[in-house]
Structure 1
Amino acid sequence: MLAFIHGKQAITSLRHFMAGKSEADIAAEFTRLEHIEATETEGITALPGAIALLSHLNKAGIPWAIVTSGSMPVARARHKIAGLPAPEVFVTAERVKRGKPEPDAYLLGAQLLGLAPQECVVVEDAPAGVLSGLAAGCHVIAVNAPADTPRLNEVDLVLHQSGANYCDQTAKWRCYYSVKHLIMI
């Protein structure tokens, strides 16, 4: 089940697993789950090095965005509890018609940053997000993505280390600083 839902909009997953149920039933379940995810945030933390990386981007004047399959209430709550810096652009499920693995979310993120997708780097851990970033034409860095992620061989960089500190990956990141902007998961 996790392989299906990871990185996808909750409503998409609910429609899949609640096949045959009415849209009203699905919407009610979505509202219930959204409330739980937005309020039960114990254990939510930033990935190691994420805050340092985003702070570095801010100091360097490199715009970045958060592009997530989560709804705005869930994304805002988790962003706040993780202590991440505020992004210039925040793209959530409500802002796109088609969620990941379709390219819409990353295309919107690039557009809102005023960039062509090929000027952006997507950092993703979910197979749906990797596919979305590639479909959008962005550079893609896969972080702890499952080994069976489709098209993983097409990404620009794969980081497998559990708990890897992104700022310790300087040599690997250096080639991506020539790309002007970063879109985060």
Structure 2
Amino acid sequence: MSAVEIRPVSGIAVEPWLDELADLRIQVFRDYPYLYDGSPAYERDYLDRYARSEQSLFVLALEYNRLIGAATALPLLDADPEFQVPFAEHGPDAGRVFYFGESVLLPAYRGEGVGHRFFDLRELYARDFGFDYTAFCAVVRDDDHPQRPRDYRSLEPFWRKRGYHPEPALTTRFPWRDLGDEQQTEKTMQFWLRDVTLVEDA
């Protein structure tokens, strides 16, 4: 862990890292539960939305200047429309929500506290900019999914320990192609929410 540097950057300042971040997303999200068969071109388009947001945040984890992990966030109103619709229908107001795009980290560096740093910095940033809520969404897979590894450990206990809870009314559908499939299929994405106004600085 001593060689890992955590570096927050915002907006277009992340441009030098976008190709590495696109590759990292593809690599990490190939694993269950996402099973994502991604492409560099799509990833760059997706990440460009974050880079264009004036209040976006990229928390980079670097080892000797090599990207080994990253977490992203931006105002929900700057995110893809699919992620805004559930909030427009069920609340809270999307303008009060700072949305966490992803946390990706190479397996060799997990369990060393990097994930907590990803959340710490994004939540701090959200409060500093006056947002009331932080939120992210996670894919919903059946427990008996044929590609679920025997040793799979859900991140739900980690998220709950961080103060997040799933909001049953806040779900969306998002398409991608699973590994081994020929076509895209829509997946259910469940939103998890935290009221950061209730958090006191340590």
TM-score, length of structure 1 as denominator length: 0.35
Return the structure number with greater strand share: 2
TM-score, length of structure 2 as denominator length: 0.33
